[in-house]
Structure formats: C-alpha cells, structure tokens
Structure 1
Amino acid sequence: MLQYILLCLTSLLTMINPLAVMAVYSGITADLDRRHARRIALRACLIASAILVAFALTGELIFDFFAISVHSLRVVGGVLFFIMGYEMVQARLASMPHVPRKEAGPSLDGASKDVALTPIAMPMISGPGTIATVIILMHQGTNLTQKSLLVATVLFSCLLTFLLLLGAQPIMRRLGEQGNKMLTRIMGLIVMVIAVEFFFSGLTPIVREMLQLPLK
C-alpha cells in the first residue's frame, strides 16, 4: 500500500513538475497584483484537479469504448514521458505570455480566466503526460482503497502545486536561474526512469501476446 502511494505521489509530482509551473506562472503574473495572481493560481489548480480526477475515474471506460489496451497506453505514455523527461534534463522551460497590469476591470478578469485555463491548468499541470499517468495508475490499483488513494493523491498534488504557486515569486528569486535548472534536470531524470518502467511494463505483455507466451 505504501509503495503504491509513493509511486502515485512521485509520478504525479514529477509529471506536473511544480518548478516548471512556477516559472511559467511567475512570468504570466509578473505584472499583476497579488489578489489577481492568487485568483489565477486557485482557478488553474481547481480546473487541473477536476480534469485529472475525471480522467482517473473515466479513463478506462474511454479506452474500453475505443478498444484501446492499457498496455498500449503504457508504451505510448512511456515514450511521451521519456521525451518530456529529456526536455526537462535539458532544462527547457516553455516561454509563455503574461497578463499585463494595465488591463483592468472585467478585461483583466477575462484574461485571468484565459491564462488560468491555458497554459497553466492545461497543459502545464494536467497535460497529456499527467493524464496518461493517472489513467495508468488507476488501472494499477488493485482495489477500491488504492483507487481512492490515487484520487486523494491527485487532489494533494494539486493542492501542493497551488501552495507553491502562492510563493512562486520569492521561491523563484531565491532559486535563481541556475538553481531552477538544476532541480528541473533532477526531476527530468526521475521522469525518464518512470518512463522506462512504464514502457517495458506495457511492452512485455504485448510481446508475450505476439509470441503467444503465457503471462506470469
């Protein structure tokens, strides 16, 4: 049980990559007052948590409807995670637009909602890699308790991301560019290791099925 919880927490946090989210969020909200910046962080994390929980609960049904096997998802997810991990090892953070302070009133609220949904909620927090992760982890859950723990871990990860976003500006200043790149590279290595595990856990049963060998 503890091993499954640690797997869920490690996988989600490395795929979400709060450091990258913080860097993008800091750039987007650099010219905003704290109230609007917090509103963007809260809205983004609520949207992301809703998306991830929805896919965790319905992902297998969607795959059954389209006759997609979880093994195939693990293979594709492993490739996707490896690419994302490689990008993180290279310390490449996407360049994102920001919301200027001069936009006031309703226009600022509209802009805040836009950037909260895209790019922060999607694809930064609940991107394709994170969505694939929750679906795979949900399938790996052997009972209702483990599946419930996954949902709780998703909510906890989004809550932790929200708390980190609240302190994004001072944290990013203290880390500096080099510190941010170093931690991003470390998280990238973790993502690549998880990617290899996912890839071969999906490829092995596919190859055995092709060779018509019994599963152990």
Structure 2
Amino acid sequence: MSDVLDVHLFASVFITLFVIMDPPGTVPIFLGLTSAMSRVQRNRAARQAVAVAFGVVVAFALFGQSLLSYMHVSLPALQASGGLLLLLVAMELLTGKMEEPQPSGNTNVNVALVPLGTPLLAGPGAIVATMVFVTQSDGSAADWVAIALGVLAVHVCLYLAMRFANVIHRVLGESGTILVTRIAGLLLAAIAVQLVADAVEAFIKAA
C-alpha cells in the first residue's frame, strides 16, 4: 500500500490544508458574499469557487516556485498582497456594500472567482503549504498521489460546506444572514491583518 499511497503524507497534507482553508469557517463568509444571490446562483458560486481554488493550488504546486523566482516575488510579498485584498473585502462586508445592487457596469463581476476562490480559499497559506509539501517530497509516485488526494479531499470538504450553506441561510433568514455577514467581515478583517503581520515579520527576519 505504501508503494501506491503514503498514508502519513496524505494525513499531513489533508489536516494542514483543512486547518488553513477551514471549510466550516468559510460558511459565514460565503453567505455574506452571496447574500444577494438565489439558491441556484449560490450553488453555482460554490462550484466555481472550489474549482478556482483547486486550480490555483494545483498550479502553484506544479509551477509556483519557478513562477515566483522568475518574477522575483517572495512568498511574504504574496502573503501581504493576499492580506490586503482580503481586508478590502472585509470592509465591504462590514459596511454592507457587498449587499448593495451592483452598477450595470459591474454585472460581470463574479465574487466566486475573486475574492472567494482566491485569495480566500486558495490564499497564501494554502499555496505556501502545498508548495512546501511538494518541495519536501522525494518525488515518488506514492508521494504525488498522497499530495494530490490530500488536496482533493480538502476541496471536497470545502464544496460540501458551501453547498449546504443554503440550509443555514433558510434557518437564519434575512436578518440572521446580515448578522452573520457582519461577524464574518470582522473575522475576515482579523485574518487579513494577521496575514499582513506575518508577512511583515517574515520581511524583518529576512532583512
């Protein structure tokens, strides 16, 4: 079995990414970002967000180190930029701007892609963690299968959490959803500030 799948590595990848990407914690933020959508639109947004997140994580796992080196971009810089973008989204959730009807010129904006798919789900933490697992692996087929299955399993959990957010929405109602949206904005702001703080600390240590 170890020749086909490294169970220990699979467990490490799954637990690490599950904690970082936090499927249960995405539910209130997902409800806030999709509060103006219908049930069908919310389900489609869940599929799109997970697909985007999976594509970004896989792409960085395969080509991330080479891409960042070519562009002379450090991992702390990537982390800081993701934190700043999440902070902007948090401000919109806290002020209710996310719930306002979008102007006609912004009808093509899809929150499932940005900021939900990335950098919220496929954020700097998930990207860096996946790149580290790939770098530390010995390149065997068992390691690649373990990493791939670990990443896939976490994204399945993310989809299930957002897919059944509709049930939570029906239970909470409109007022409850608005309350959860404000709380999600506060939590997201804290996450964003922590990302920036960690990036600054990394910059200082590297100096």
Normalised by the shorter chain, which TM-score bucket? 0.5 to 0.7
Match in the other structure for 1:46: 47
CA-based RMSD? 3.8
| Deviations 1:181-208, CA, capped at 9 Å, x for gaps | 234313432343244335544x36753x
Matches within 5 A, 1:1-216: 5-13=14-22, 17-29=26-38, 37=39, 39-64=40-65, 66=67, 68=69, 72-87=73-88, 88=90, 91-93=94-96, 94-95=98-99, 97=101, 118-133=109-124, 134-141=126-133, 142-143=136-137, 144=143, 145-146=146-147, 148-173=149-174, 175=176, 177-198=178-199, 200-201=201-202, 203=203, 206-207=206-207
Opposite residue 172 of structure 2, the aligned amino acid is I
Note closer, same or farther for the CA distance 1:53–1:179 as it changes in structure 2 (3 Å cut).
closer
| Deviations 1:118-173, CA, capped at 9 Å, x for gaps | 52421242034543433222112244335532332122112211211343243253
> 2-side partners of 1:194 and 1:129: how far apart?
11
Instruction: State the TM-score, normalized to the length of structure 2.
Output: 0.63
> 1-side partners of 2:192 and 2:147: how far apart?
22
* Preserved contact between residue 18 and residue 164 of structure 1 (Cα < 8 Å): yes
Note closer, same or farther for the CA distance 1:138–1:205 as it changes in structure 2 (3 Å cut).
farther
Aligned identity (percent) is: 8
* Preserved contact between residue 77 and residue 199 of structure 1 (Cα < 8 Å): no
Opposite residue 135 of structure 1, the aligned amino acid is I
Q: How many residues align?
A: 180
Instruction: State the TM-score, normalized to the length of structure 1.
Output: 0.61
Note closer, same or farther for the CA distance 1:76–1:155 as it changes in structure 2 (3 Å cut).
farther
Is the partner of 1:26 in helix, strand or coil?
coil
Match in the other structure for 1:106: none
* Preserved contact between residue 94 and residue 185 of structure 2 (Cα < 8 Å): yes
